[in-house]
Amino acid sequence: MNPQAQRPIGVFDSGVGGLTVMRALVEALPHEDLLYLGDTARVPYGNRGAETIRRYALNAARQLVGHNIKALVVACNTATAYALPALQDALEIPVFGVVDPVATLAARRSAGGHIAMIGTRATVRSNSYTRALMNLRPDAHVHPIACPLLVPLAEEGWTEGPVVEQVLRHYLEPLASTPVDTMILGCTHYPLLHDAIASVAAEVMRRPLELLDSASATATALRETLAALSLHTPSTDPGSHRFLLTDLPEGFVETASRFFGQSVAERCEHVDIIDSFATPHG
Amino acid sequence: MNPQAQRPIGVFDSGVGGLTVMRALVEALPHEDLLYLGDTARVPYGNRGAETIRRYALNAARQLVGHNIKALVVACNTATAYALPALQDALEIPVFGVVDPVATLAARRSAGGHIAMIGTRATVRSNSYTRALMNLRPDAHVHPIACPLLVPLAEEGWTEGPVVEQVLRHYLEPLASTPVDTMILGCTHYPLLHDAIASVAAEVMRRPLELLDSASATATALRETLAALSLHTPSTDPGSHRFLLTDLPEGFVETASRFFGQSVAERCEHVDIIDSFATPHG
C-alpha cells in the first residue's frame, strides 16, 4: 500500500458550489476522508480578474496542503480555468480540475460535435472548455454562453418557476438556430437548476439534448487516478467529511446543506486564510 | 480656512454600488476632490459575517487615510450597518454612513409612520434602519424586506422588464396588507432599479408611496458638516474624481460607468489591500 493512501482528499471551491462536486465524490468514493475548503470570505471568483483568482486559489490550496491531503480537487470552474496549471506547478500532489473530465465525456458523447457550454462570465471568457474540447475533438463546434444570473438564483433557492425560466429563456434563446446536441453545465451551481435548464432547453431547441455536469465526471476521473497510483484508502468504513469555511455567515449551513444534499451542520469550521500575495500600497 | 480643507474626501464601498452615492456627492459638492475606493476583490459584503465585514471595512478605510482624506463616506449599507462605530472609533476624521441621513428624512416625511426598508440580507439582519428610525420616531412601524436578487440584477443591467418585475412582485407582495407610505431604498444599487420598484410598488400597494434613497440624503449631510467644520474646499474649479479598485475585472469600467452616470475610464487604478487582521492558521 502506498503510505500516503490513508490521507484525506482536499476539495477546494470559492464557496458552496463545489459541494455538488463533493456530493459526487462521496458517492463515488464512500470510504475516502474528504476535507472541503470553501473560500466564502472572498466568494464569488467568477467576476474577478485572472491574477486575483490565481492568488486566491494558491492561498487556499496551501491551506489544504497544510492538512496533509493526498490529492486536490479544484471543484470550481473559475479556479480551474485560471489557476489549474499554477496549482499543478506549485503542489507535489495530483491536482484535478472540473473542466477536462466533463469535456472528455462531451467530446465522446456528442453525435454531431456541436456542444453548448453554459457558465459564469469568467469561465466563458477563459475559453477553457473550448480549448479542452478542440484538443479532444478538432471537428467540434463549441457554443459558450455566459449566464451570470444563474449563480445568485441557485444560491437563493430559486431553482424553478417563472423567474428562472424567463432568465434561462433569455440565455438559451441563441441556441435555437444551432444544431447543438450536448450541453455542458460548466458551473458547479447549475446541477441545482438541472430540471429547469433541461425543460427550457427542450422548449427553445425543440429536439433532444444531453446535459452533462462536471461533478460525476470529475469523481470518476479521481477514482481512476487514485487506483492507478495505489492511493485508494485501505479503510472500509464510511469516510469522514469536514468543511472548512473562510467565512460562516448566518444562513450558510442551510444553503450548504442544500448543495451537499445532506446536512453539513456540526461539521463546519471557520478558518482564516493568509492573503500572502497581497503587497503593501502607498 | 481650516488647513485640512484642501484635502480630498474619501468614499468607500464594497464594489460599484457606492458610485450612486459618489454621483450624488459630485452634484452636491462639485468643487471637492473625491477619491473612491471599491473593494472589488472582495465584493459582495452583503452575505458575509459581521466580523469579516468589519475587518474588510477597516482595511479599506486605512488605505484611504493613507491618501490624506479629510472625511470618509462609507457608501455601502452593509459596511455602515456593521462597521460604522468601529470606523468612527479608529479614525480621527469625520466618518459618514448611509443609514442615518435617509432614516432622518424618512422619519420626517412619513405621514403615518409606516416605513418600508428594502436592502440586502445582511443590512436587514443588522436592524440598523429599524434602530435608527425608532430612535428618531418612537411611534414608527418599520417593515424591512431583504431582496438579495436585486444586486445581481442591477449589476447585470437588468433594471426593467418582466424578470425584474416578477422578482420585485415576489419581494414587495407582503407590503400589500400594510399602511406603508414611505419606502427607503436601503442599498446603493437600488437607485438603478428606481422606476421598476416605483411601478411594482404602486401595482402591489394601490396607493401613493414615497421612495427615498440614501445617496442624496448622505450628500446633504456631508455638505452641512463640512460647512460646520469649515472643511469646504476653497477651490472654485471642478473637483477631481479618482477611482481605486482592489480588482479590475474585464467589463468593470462599463458597469462602473453605468452606476456613476458618466464614464470612469482613464480614472480607474488598481490597488492591493493588506488584509491585516487575518491570522495564520495550522
pLDDT by residue for chain A (282 residues), tens only, comes to 788 999 999 999 999 999 999 999 999 999 999 999 999 999 888 778 889 999 999 999 999 999 999 999 999 998 999 999 999 999 999 999 999 999 999 999 999 999 999 998 888 989 999 999 999 999 999 999 999 999 999 989 999 999 999 999 999 999 999 999 999 999 999 999 999 999 999 999 998 899 999 998 999 999 999 999 999 999 999 999 999 999 987 778 998 999 999 999 999 999 988 776 544 333
pLDDT at B281: 39
Assess if residue A282 is contained within a domain: no
Contacts of A65 in chain B (CB under 8 A): none
pLDDT at A140: 97
**Lookup result for grid cell 495505489:** A230
Is the Cβ of A166 closer than 8 Å to some Cβ of chain B? yes
Alpha carbon distance B18, A280 (integer Å): 24
Inter-chain CB proximity B281 and A273 less than 8 Å = yes
Active site residue B268: no
The C-alpha cell that represents B252 in the structure block: 468593470
Alpha carbon distance A270, A254 (integer Å): 16
Residues A115 and A81 in one domain: no
Assess if residue B150 is contained within a domain: yes
**pLDDT tens over chain B, length 282 residues:** 788 999 999 999 999 999 999 999 999 999 999 999 999 999 888 778 889 999 999 999 999 999 999 999 999 998 999 999 999 999 999 999 999 999 999 999 999 999 999 998 888 989 999 999 999 999 999 999 999 999 999 989 999 999 999 999 999 999 999 999 999 999 999 999 999 999 999 999 998 899 999 998 999 999 999 999 999 999 999 999 999 999 987 778 998 999 999 999 899 999 988 776 544 333
Inter-chain CB proximity A163 and B158 less than 8 Å = no
Contacts of A275 in chain B (CB under 8 A): 274-275, 278
Q: For chain B, give the number of residues.
A: 282
Residues A111 and A11 in one domain: no
In chain A, % helix, strand, coil (3-state, to 5) comes to 45, 15, 40
**Final residue of a structural domain among B215, B240, B261:** B215
pLDDT at A159: 96
pLDDT at B148: 93
Cβ atoms of A155 and A223 within 8 Å: the answer is no
Alpha carbon distance B154, B189 (integer Å): 6
Residues A135 and A68 in one domain: no
Assess if residue A192 is contained within a domain: yes
Alpha carbon distance A21, A217 (integer Å): 9
Q: Is the dihedral of CA A225, A231, A235, A240 positive or negative?
A: negative
Assess if residue B48 is contained within a domain: yes
- When CB atoms are compared, the residue of A42, A163, A279 closest to B163 is A163
Residues B247 and B176 in one domain: no
Assess if residue A201 is contained within a domain: yes
Residues B112 and B207 in one domain: yes
pLDDT at B278: 47
Residues B180 and B83 in one domain: no
The C-alpha cell that represents A226 in the structure block: 487514485
pLDDT at A282: 33
Three-state DSSP at B88 gives helix
| CATH code of the domain in which A91 resides | 3.40.50.1860
Residues A87 and A220 in one domain: yes
| Domain hosting residue A128, numbered range | 99-214
Residues B190 and B235 in one domain: no
Cβ atoms of B15 and B222 within 8 Å: the answer is no
The C-alpha cell that represents A96 in the structure block: 484535478
Assess if residue A280 is contained within a domain: no
Contacts of A166 in chain B (CB under 8 A): 162-163, 166
**Final residue of a structural domain among B169, B190, B215:** B215
Three-state DSSP at B211 gives strand
pLDDT at B280: 39
Q: How far apart are the first and last CA of chain B?
A: 54
**Structural domain count, chain A:** 2
Percent of chain A surpassing pLDDT 70: 98
pLDDT at A279: 41
Assess if residue A276 is contained within a domain: no
Assess if residue A279 is contained within a domain: no
Inter-chain CB proximity B249 and A48 less than 8 Å = yes
Cβ atoms of A218 and A100 within 8 Å: the answer is no
For the purposes of burial, counting CB atoms within 10 Å of the CB of A3, is it exposed (0-12), middle (13-18) or buried (19 or more)?
Answer: exposed
ipTM: 0.82
Is the Cβ of B167 closer than 8 Å to some Cβ of chain A? yes
Inter-chain CB proximity A278 and B275 less than 8 Å = yes
pLDDT at B121: 86
pLDDT at A224: 95
pLDDT at B282: 33
